[in-house]
Structure 1
Amino acid sequence: MMMFSDEELIEPVESVLDKLRPSILLDGGNISLVEIKGGKVFVRLEGACKGCPSSNVTLKNGIEKALRNDIHPELEVISIN
């Protein structure tokens, strides 16, 4: 059960994304937070990450794992276009 409102999650999620962003930028991509709804973090992959075959691995093994470790183990990352 999530103990935070979606609004309360915005700042910590942005903070984690800011920590990960330099690595993503090195590969020619970027990530933007679109919204948080019901513990689901909706992001938009940009640049070289958009449409990359490895983007799902980046989302689940990188971004989602970091969010779960740093904020809450039930967070889920969903990419939208």
Structure 2
Amino acid sequence: MIPFSDEDLLPAVKKSIEKIRPMLALDGGDIKLLGVKNGKVFVSLGGACVGCAASGNTLKYGVERQLKIDIHPEIEVINIAPDMIDKWEEIAQQLTKEEGK
């Protein structure tokens, strides 16, 4: 369990995401931080990352890895498709309900 509130995590996550952004930009990609809910970081990969076969690896071994190093080893990153950005909080609530079962 992550020993920080979502509000405590947000500034650290923003800082870490800003470290990652230039790496993604080199390949024409981008990342948008949507928010933090229940210790999970919700992002949306953009630019060339949308539809790229390697985007899953980018998320897991690039973004999530950096957040685990910078913040906490149990942090999890979830990518939300660009067309679902406005529903990310609903998705977060659903994930929380499913984990509680």
Question: Which TM bucket (shorter chain)?
Answer: over 0.9
Which has the bigger relative contact order, CA under 8 A and spacing at least 6?
A: 1
- Give the TM-score normalised by the residue count of structure 1: 0.96
Unaligned runs of 5+ in 1: none
Higher helix share: 2
Pairing 1:8-19 to 2, within 5 Å after superposition: 8-19=8-19
Find the aligned partners of 1:12 and 1:79 in 2 and give their Cα distance.
18
- Give the TM-score normalised by the residue count of structure 2: 0.77
Match of 1:49 in 2: 49
Counting aligned pairs with the same residue, the percent is 54
Unaligned runs of 5+ in 2: 82-101
Pairwise CA RMSD:
0.7
Letter in 2 for 1:22: P
Structure with larger Rg: 2
User: Which stretches of structure 1, 4 residues or more, deviate above 3 A after TM superposition?
Assistant: none
